[in-house]
Amino acid sequence: MPTILTKNFNSCAPKNPHLSLIPSIRRSPVISLHPHHRRRRLLSGEMLTCGRFLSSSAASSTPSLSPFRNLTLSLLRRPHLRLLSSSATASAAAAVEPDTKGGAGGGAGKPQWKAAIDFKWIRENTDAVAANIRDRNSAANLDLVLQLYDEYLALQKEVERLRAERNAVANKMKGKLEPSVRQALVEEGKSLKEGLIALEEDLVQLTDKLQLEAQSIPNTTHPDVPVGGEESSVVRKEVGSQRNFNFTIRDHLQLGKELDLFDFDAAAEVSGSKFYYLKNEAVLLEMALVNWAITEVSKKGFTPLITPEIVRSSVVEKCGFQPRAQNTQVYSIDNSDQCLIGTAEIPVGGIHMDSILPDSDLPRKYVAYSHCFRTEAGAAGAATRGLYRVHQFSKVEMFVFCRPEESDKCHEELITIEEELYASLGLHFKTLDMATGDLGAPAYRKFDIEAWMPGLDRYGEISSASNCTDYQSRRLGIRFRPSPADPPLANAKKGKGSSGPTQFVHTLNATAVAVPRLIICILENFQQEDGTVVIPEPLRPFMGGLEVLSPKTK
């Protein structure tokens, strides 16, 4: 049975080169995620990326024993470097902590995957990164990241020095030597080799600590995003107005009971609280909402998908969610490295994991249907009653992979599609530019739509649209190869000069339909005094022409 093992799925971010935490790959050496390239050696200031950090030749190379070896061990053993035992970094470590009970494998404190993070850029833009962490109320420990990076560079420099000494000894042995001299060089080379192996092991441990800590740093933030908590969010658009009722209105729970649409009591006995059965016309209404949304969004060039609903924990983490932290929203499966999805954003984000997309295929757009599962840890009170906050529901999600220069435009396209869908249903809603404190780690910018729910007497969130720039793609390993500005030379060799270096794509996601929230809106906004509910016209063809929901005759 699933156990609750973090991120709020409702919060989900550089176009600005001065604020970019993880800038374009063009600023750093081209990094290949292909397994054949995973053991490449890092030079000073180079980007740490997926896979091991030492070349295969490094494992057999040899320099001299040095006092730096003892210094390195001392640094690694200092208490402030024990990332998993520090309360200040516990939440960051939880994001990538291995599942010791499941099949993920790996030792404590060792990341199971590595994002492509430009540490040199972080160090050169410390003030901007620190301000972004503060504005987003992130638990990331930038001071520790910078300290670990400096220690990494120092240790790497020592490893390079020992390699040079080892090579010098090897060169001395090429000529004719007295036996005693040769034997002395052999002994020195052996000592250098043993010392280098030990230091390289330390370097691997240090890079793991650095990577684990740095992966908790959130995405950069669009300069126009308001700073503060959710209350600081700004309304950017309002559509329609609240309906005036001349009778006593019912909430969706009362309407559902009278129309015989839900059964929460039986679901509580079968599954627990916050589960429900849909009955009668509510089943048709759910299917109508799903089919209508997929039909409308597909017309705009989105490819329909039905996704897996169980995914690997590492994919959840790479998308920016935390399946192992306290108060997580993720259901993890015992004795496995798998989780139930909380949104189709996760399996769609992973569909092109560790791949290079052709430039001609971008932007690539998907509209995905799935069930979603959320623990809703900490959710309580009247605001969560009924269908508003549940453990399982159906959702239609939009997802886009695009070039970096297109992501702002794609973000506007997604929020426009959402607004058109809800306006066509006749709903009253407002679109908000969400403040920094509500963005979550992946989002560079996020627009939420809140619709008026008269029975609940408040606005409730029905969708969000997030631009995650290259935060997710750097973790998922999704790149594209730009088309060359000029045609290749006639005498150019195959594969040479035909294209530039790869870049990370930008990813965006947006809700087309979160079924339970829209059922609330439809029942409460279109109820009539006689207890009937009028079905919005765009949904009627998907409900067999049904126009009105009526109370059942007893």
Domain with CATH 3.30.930.10 in the chain: 230-483+499-549
**Interatomic CA distance for residues 548 and 530, integer angstroms:** 12
Which pLDDT band, with edges at 50, 70 and 90, does 167 fall under? confident
> Taking the mean position of all CA atoms in its chain, how far away is CA 289?
27
The yes-or-no verdict on residue 472 having pLDDT over 50 is yes
**Contact by Cβ (8 Å): 70, 158:** no
Catalytic-residue membership of 389 = yes
List CB contacts of 356: < 8 A, sequence separation 6 or more: 479, 480, 481, 502
**Interatomic CA distance for residues 470 and 118, integer angstroms:** 12
Among the options 28, 464, 466, 473, which is catalytic? 464
Indicate the helix (H) or strand (E) that contains 208: helix 179-214
Rounded to the nearest integer, the mean pLDDT of the chain is 80
Among the options 40, 136, 324, 374, which is catalytic? 374
Which pLDDT band, with edges at 50, 70 and 90, does 176 fall under? confident
Greater confidence (525 vs 381) lies with 525
**Interatomic CA distance for residues 487 and 471, integer angstroms:** 31
**Considering the entire predicted model, what is its pTM?**
0.76
Catalytic-residue membership of 324 = no
Its CATH class, for the domain covering 119-216, is mainly alpha
Catalytic-residue membership of 479 = no
Average pLDDT over residues 162-166: 77
Catalytic-residue membership of 464 = yes
**Residue type at 298?**
S
Q: What is the tens place of the pLDDT at every residue in 340-362?
A: 999 999 999 999 999 999 999 99
Catalytic-residue membership of 336 = no
The yes-or-no verdict on residue 18 having pLDDT over 90 is no
Greater confidence (11 vs 508) lies with 508
pLDDT at residue number 6: 38
Among the options 166, 250, 389, 445, which is catalytic? 389
Q: What is the tens place of the pLDDT at every residue in 394-429?
A: 999 999 999 999 999 999 999 999 999 999 999 999
CATH classification for the domain delimited by 230-483+499-549, as one of 3.40.50.300, 3.90.420.10, 1.20.1250.20, 3.30.930.10:
3.30.930.10
Domain with CATH 1.10.287.40 in the chain: 119-216
Q: What is the tens place of the pLDDT at every residue in 510-523?
A: 999 999 999 999 99
Q: What is the tens place of the pLDDT at every residue in 70-118?
A: 433 333 333 333 222 233 333 333 333 333 333 333 344 677 788 999 8
Highest mean pLDDT among 89-98, 210-219, 325-334, 532-541: 532-541
Among the options 461, 498, 499, 540, which is catalytic? 461
Q: What is the tens place of the pLDDT at every residue in 118-146?
A: 899 999 999 999 999 999 999 999 999 99
